[in-house]
Amino acid sequence: MALIVVVISLLTPVLATLLVIRRLRHSNRVSPQVPTFAPMVWLWIPHRAARLHRRLRRLSAVARAAGRSTLPSMPDLVGDLERRACATDSKLVLAARMTGPPSWSMMNEVESEIRDLEALATRMVAMSTTWSSTSVGTEAIAERLDALEQAMREVDEIASPQPPPLRRLS
């Protein structure tokens, strides 16, 4: 019995540590399905490459949220954006491992790509929120109901024509 207690007390911290490391590695990914070569310390350190990596993670998360909209083509666009973000992340890791002027120019190029991807993710969010708000907004529903009521009045007028009013001849 004492042996079981000792084994459990030794294995519990090891298993907890392994689970925390696994969770941190997973949270460091740009896309949940694609492993990254970015170091885990990029989750916290303030270096330029780490900040750019966190921006990639953020824009990918924003795009995934926009992909849950009712637009039918949005999930495909989100997948394309995530694949592009993963490719950019690989270039970022490579640029961070280089030194000197080639590293700087590659880092500048990666930062420009990230700006473009952020703009695309922002457009996706705007489109998905605009689509969802106009498709179920109360004003849109009211306009459609008004148009339907008007059409029904017109159908009633056509279906049951009333005789013209009689006028007196004087």
| Single pTM value for the model | 0.69
Give the residue ranges of the chain where pLDDT is below 70.
131-138, 140-141, 161-166, 169-170
pLDDT of residue 137: 57
Give every CB contact of residue 68 below 8 A, 6+ residues apart in sequence.
128
pLDDT of residue 81: 93
**Burial letters 119-158, b for 16+ CB under 10 A, else e:** ebbeebbeebeeeeeeeeeeeeeeeeeeeeeeeeeeeeee
pLDDT of residue 140: 67
**Burial letters 78-109, b for 16+ CB under 10 A, else e:** beebbebbbebbeebbebbeeeeeeeeebbee
